[in-house]
Chains A and B, each alone.
Chain A
């Protein structure tokens, strides 16, 4: 305590220099904390986005992840009902489990023949009630976007679908769907030969006679063409309930979500109903590996493969690695700034107090105690600077989070909230605080050792 009191008085001797050092440490601290807090926010937002749209774990038929994209029919799961029950009833998985949902992913062509527009699309068949639950997972209590995430489909709505906002624009559905902030397409020249006299809907009239008839009050709809598992073309009509702003540009401009039954009708026709796989969402991300191991034991290894969301979407891990590398680089630069600032300040302090060092040594103070005095001053400078930095960073992050500033990440269709969360990683803030104190303290060791090594008679002569 006495050492710290003496250290405090010594750093007060040259107030301006000490203040500049404290400010340099504080600015470094603020930079590291804000940048780290923002990266933390991005990583957890990304994780939340992935988990909300695809759960923590995917279960596929063996070989799907390698060969399934080229031949989805061959790698579809038939006995998914049994597997869902198996997972739901397993006592080891149950405490961690939030939901298991079957899904069917496929591709095809969507046509809006009232506007003579069509495009390829990604289709996703889901169970609406489970998907709604999937979409509100929020382990970290993050406010990701300002928009509503509800898809507005019901389990018994067998003809409804939701598409990306961008896709609605491209297919010229804005007017029909009552979308207000759509870009207006320039008037297109009519194709040579004119519009087709009949569209795909003619093929669906047996399945959806009411829709095919059209008429006043009919919902906007798309005709979807896809290949069945047997390779034959098949068509269904989907009534569009909503256009949603989807996360990525690709999804926003090409995804259609629909009831699993409708998707199966399109992909399987009148054949055996299959799904692409199962999405397993857990209460907490940190139990992912544990549950994955359990599921691997539970499911016959030769029939199924169990993948975490990180394995399904390797971009997640790559993004984290990239941000952590950038953060490490920034933290290193800030650490070096603190290191040199403190060394400079402490070296100046030693130079100004050579005579005092000689006097203290003559009075019987050991070399180690001289080192202790100067290291104590470095520690105090580090503590004051780092603490000031933490307080400032907390204030700035609070302001930024309250302002709800938005930004659009690369390849995203819509802006997300710029947020800074320093408490998502419980050790992040204490580690930064202690790290900068440690750097400042260790920086003072070199000048302190120089002070302690001085010959007493030379130091006393220095007046």
Chain B
């Protein structure tokens, strides 16, 4: 895949969905280029369309119209399985509510994307341990999510997003469920990793701390990028 300066490019993208029988236009013809290897933040009020935009960038939703190019690939033409494989290789996710698998230990949660990727066992173990070390949870690897604090869970989620060396990590309000101090720690951690590994981060957030640390800021209002 050719390396370009943009990790994602959207052109005239609209997204309409139905709420009961009412048609809601979440995105109204967005054209935007998201730079590669940056700490990008999308801000906007609730209902402004930032999560919808993030979903389209993460290839977990499809636009009503317009074209989307992610990591140099026009994703609109991909089948469901191809889209799954694409996400498995190129995109990491960090969710607001952590979304860890409760029956997996911290180690297994981080290992999960590599199992999906069919990474060989030896390499898998090496990468999981290295990533857990990176997020400071090497000593907690056998604990299950319900045995970890909120901050630790989000660290596991970050490790899970990073372990496959994705081209971009999408984080939908990653600090919203954390207290202020823990939220700051998480932001610092992600900044450190981004600076060291040059991974593209795209956040949606209200968090002032996150906004002030953004390299590129995208403001969305009523389905339009300002």
Contacts and interface: CB of A to CB of B under 8 A. Distances in A.
A363 B61 contact: no
A9 B102 CA distance: 10
A361 interface: yes
Given A13-B103, A356-B101, A456-B61, A364 B117 contact: yes
A10 interface: yes
B103 A9 contact: yes
B141 to A, nearest CB: 17
B99 A359 contact: yes
Given A364-B89, A460-B60, A6 B103 contact: yes
Interface string A1-34: 0100010011011000000000000000000000
A380 to B, nearest CB: 13
Contacts of B97: 355, 463
Contacts of B85: 364, 366
Nearest to B52: A457
A6 B104 CA distance: 8
A363 B103 contact: no
B176 interface: no
B116 interface: yes
A366 B84 contact: yes
B80 interface: yes
Contacts of A460: 60, 95, 99
B116 A364 contact: yes
Nearest to B172: A460
Interface in A132-171: none
B60 A361 contact: yes
Given A364-B113, A457-B55, A13 B81 contact: no
Contacts of B113: 363-364
Contact of B88 (A2, A12, A13, A364): A364
Interface in B90-104: 91, 93, 95, 97, 99, 101-104
B134 interface: no
A367 interface: yes
Given A2-B115, A457-B60, A457-B61, A364 B95 contact: no
A451 to B, nearest CB: 14
Nearest to B161: A363
Q: Which of B93, B97, B99 has the most CB of A within 10 A?
A: B99
Interface string B44-76: 000000000001001011000000000000000
Interface residues of B, number: 27
A365 interface: yes
A130 interface: no
Q: Which of B80, B85, B160 has the most CB of A within 10 A?
A: B80
Contact of B87 (A6, A10, A363, A369): A363
B102 A363 contact: no
A367 B60 contact: no
A362 interface: yes
B103 A362 contact: no
B73 to A, nearest CB: 14
A450 to B, nearest CB: 16
A80 B80 CA distance: 80
Contacts of A12: 103
B112 interface: yes
A361 B84 contact: yes
A68 B95 CA distance: 89
A363 B113 CA distance: 6
Contacts of A362: 58, 60, 87, 93
A359 B61 contact: no
B101 A359 contact: yes
A364 B87 contact: yes
A365 B89 CA distance: 11
Contacts of B160: 363
A178 B88 CA distance: 91
Contacts of A355: 97, 99
Contacts of B81: 366-368
A360 B117 CA distance: 12
Contact of A367 (B61, B80, B88, B95): B80
A463 B80 CA distance: 24
A463 B99 CA distance: 9
Nearest to A10: B103
27 contacts: A6-B103, A6-B104, A13-B103, A355-B99, A356-B101, A356-B102, A359-B93, A359-B95, A360-B112, A361-B84, A362-B58, A362-B60, A362-B93, A363-B88, A363-B116, A363-B160, A364-B84, A364-B86, A364-B87, A364-B91, A366-B80, A366-B84, A369-B116, A455-B61, A456-B61, A457-B55, A457-B61
Interface of B: 55, 58, 60-61, 80-81, 84-89, 91, 93, 95, 97, 99, 101-104, 112-113, 115-117, 160
Given A362-B93, A363-B113, A456-B61, 13 more contacts: A9-B103, A12-B103, A13-B102, A356-B101, A358-B99, A360-B101, A363-B88, A363-B93, A364-B85, A364-B116, A365-B116, A460-B60, A460-B95
Top 8 nearest A-B pairs (CB, nearest first) are A364-B88, A9-B103, A456-B60, A359-B99, A364-B87, A366-B84, A364-B116, A457-B61
